[in-house]
Structure 1
Amino acid sequence: MNPSRIRLDATRQHWQHGPIDLILSADGEPHALHAAYEACWSRFVDVLPELVGELKQLRQAVRAEATLDECPLQGRIARRMWTACQPHSACFITPMAAVAGSVADELIGAFAREGIARAYINNGGDIALHLTEGCRYRIGVLADLAHYRPVPASGDPTPGLALDANLTLDASLPVRGIATSGWRGRSFSLGIADSVTVLARNAASADAAATMIANAVNLDHAGIARCPASSLKDDTDLGDRLVTVDVPSLPAPLIDFALARGVEAARPLLERGLIESAALFLQGRVRTAGLHDTGALLTHRAHTTTEAPCSKYAAC
């Protein structure tokens, strides 16, 4: 399959190459936008072949004792993936945990040029941002497709969907990457979170951290269905590890217990500066770590508690 690109409207484009599926948007001067998109496209067409060339190594676990100087990979994106996952290598993790965020990070660099005010690249929900002084983006968080309900187009930043949370990120904040993981997503999860959304300084770091925190939102319960990842996808990097395929309705105490385990996993990542904040969603309830103003961030639909209110971004 050859790479393809389609203009969706005046500011957005859709690019695809095999499993890589991107929405790109940018605002700026016309000549700068044209140059940025062409530079980005020139890089994009080589991304998939580059990753395929090192796919066997990318599916290998990052060794816990390996240092950043010992990265065995050669490609720029592959090394970015490995570097984002290395801080989590005390547990099982492969560089594939950061593939979507790393691709977005690599491509957003094309927009860091004179004449571009802001840009984003959304790689299946993992987002890299470029923001210049005075610019911002409003981000919507959708925790669980199974619970979406129609809303008036004028009542929500995403017409037709009820957001679980929304936030505003501006250029003064350190966040340039957003990623989400959970058992209901497009990738496998060892945990039971409907979703975990992480904000970090880049999308690769957010991607790896979201994977690990979502894995930690977990408990033993007879009704939770798990299968070997290899039985669902023969080329998975998870091998025979059990991944979640169904979660029954759980009583509130068990939901809170599972979410608390996720928060416990997120807290040291905040302390080490690996992430800026996280929101953990499970069956209509949410726990947050690192959020400054949870009440403003989260809609009334979810029961909310806050941990480690240390970040400085404004939420709306």
Structure 2
Amino acid sequence: MMTAPVPFSRPTARLIGQRRRLHLQHGPIDLVIEAEGPGTEVGLAYDQARAAFETVLCDLVAELPLLRQATGECPQGTIARRMYAAIAPFRPEFITPMAAVAGSVADHVLAHLTQGRDLARACVNNGGDIALMLNEGAFRVGICEDPQTGKPGGVITLSPEHAIRGIATSGWRGRSHSLGIADAVTVLASSAASADAAATMIANKVDLPGSPLIARSRASDLAPDSDLGDRLVTTAVGALSPDEIERALARGERAAADYHSRGLVTASYIGLASEKKIVDRQAILAPTAPLHTPIVPHKSERHREEPVCA
């Protein structure tokens, strides 16, 4: 969910991590950007990202009423159109463009960051939804299995030939509301916007409808301007039996397999109560993550000055 910025607030930009990474922030949008390249290329790329970020929040706020609708005309803004395109393949199931907002912002800033620049690799991390550009080398990124403890559940090693350009994570424990009970669903796709939408949809599917162990509230009671309206969102999950965990995960696994078969995603990692399902036809995900591997931040985490990629 996105709300209007504080009056007269301005985007901020600063270099962090021994001045290797760029931190951009405006209202609820919080980006950590890292690029590698020769000479002055990185500095020029950061200048381009900073300039592109200036209008991002205001442009989105201007179209929020349309972006919160499950049906409607295509929006006009560049990022808003990315959001609309990312959710289109999942219709007619319920989904609004807001399901792809974080990934779309990451994709937009990455496009401006890399335009005309000679970079080996770059990533834009928007609260755990990450847009990637990889021409040389590899990205090694950890997956967060438990957002509360930061427990590592897997490690992704990406090479240019994988054609992965986006990673996103969703679940009921994050800052965005979920219709399901997944602790964390991480998706790899051809863009961060597509990964964001798919992670949202798979997380919604991991569920036990009617279970008394799951507490739910109307989204509109928790956030009056929520794009989910009066739909029931998860607020707590009790202790589930192994059979209940398996049944809930199987629902998410079926949805992920469908999206894979349709070419919408490349790999999915679905976690619930320390159990997991992996749908990964390219064998990108390893079963465990070494402790030194940086963890992909879940959406519930605020900005940290640790590496986002390695």
**Conserved? CA contact 1:62–1:85, under 8 Å:** no
Question: Is 1:99 aligned to residue 101 of structure 2?
Answer: yes
Q: 1:241 to 1:295 in 2, by over 3 A?
A: closer
Residue 151 of structure 1 aligns with which residue?
A: none
Question: Is 1:38 aligned to residue 47 of structure 2?
Answer: yes
1:126 to 126, 129, 135: 129
SS in 1 for 2:89: helix
CA distance in 2, matches of 1:226, 1:198: 25
Q: State the percentage of identical aligned residues.
A: 48
1:299 offset after TM fit, Å?
4.9
If the length of structure 1 is used for normalisation, what is the TM-score? 0.85
Listed one character per residue, the Cα deviations across residues 59-116 of structure 1 (whole Å, up to 9, x for unaligned) are 01036xxxxxxx5210110000000001111111100000000000011012243421
Residue 200 of structure 1 aligns with which residue?
A: 189
SS in 2 for 1:113: coil
Residue 68 of structure 2 aligns with which residue?
A: 59
Listed one character per residue, the Cα deviations across residues 268-290 of structure 1 (whole Å, up to 9, x for unaligned) are 21111110010100000000112
1:142 offset after TM fit, Å?
1.0
1:201 aligned partner, one-letter code: S
CA distance in 1, matches of 2:45, 2:286: 35
2:90 to 64, 88, 91: 88
Structure 2: segments with no counterpart, 5+ residues: 1-8, 291-310
Residue 214 of structure 2 aligns with which residue?
A: 224
RCO (CA 8 Å, sep 6+): is it higher in 1 or 2? 2
Residue correspondences, number: 280
**Conserved? CA contact 1:199–1:206, under 8 Å:** yes
2:223 aligned partner, one-letter code: K
**Conserved? CA contact 1:189–1:243, under 8 Å:** yes
**Conserved? CA contact 2:154–2:285, under 8 Å:** no
CA distance in 1, matches of 2:98, 2:280: 26
Residue 269 of structure 2 aligns with which residue?
A: 279
Question: Is 1:2 aligned to residue 18 of structure 2?
Answer: no
If the length of structure 2 is used for normalisation, what is the TM-score? 0.86
1:240 offset after TM fit, Å?
0.8
Question: Is 1:262 aligned to residue 232 of structure 2?
Answer: no
SS in 1 for 2:208: coil
1:291 offset after TM fit, Å?
4.4
Structure 1: segments with no counterpart, 5+ residues: 64-70, 149-161, 301-316
Q: 1:107 to 1:244 in 2, by over 3 A?
A: same
1:30 offset after TM fit, Å?
3.3
CA distance in 2, matches of 1:294, 1:47: 33
1:14 offset after TM fit, Å?
1.3
**Conserved? CA contact 1:26–1:118, under 8 Å:** yes
Q: Tell me how large the CA RMSD over aligned residues is.
A: 1.7
Question: Is 1:166 aligned to residue 155 of structure 2?
Answer: yes
2:129 aligned partner, one-letter code: D
Question: Is 1:184 aligned to residue 192 of structure 2?
Answer: no
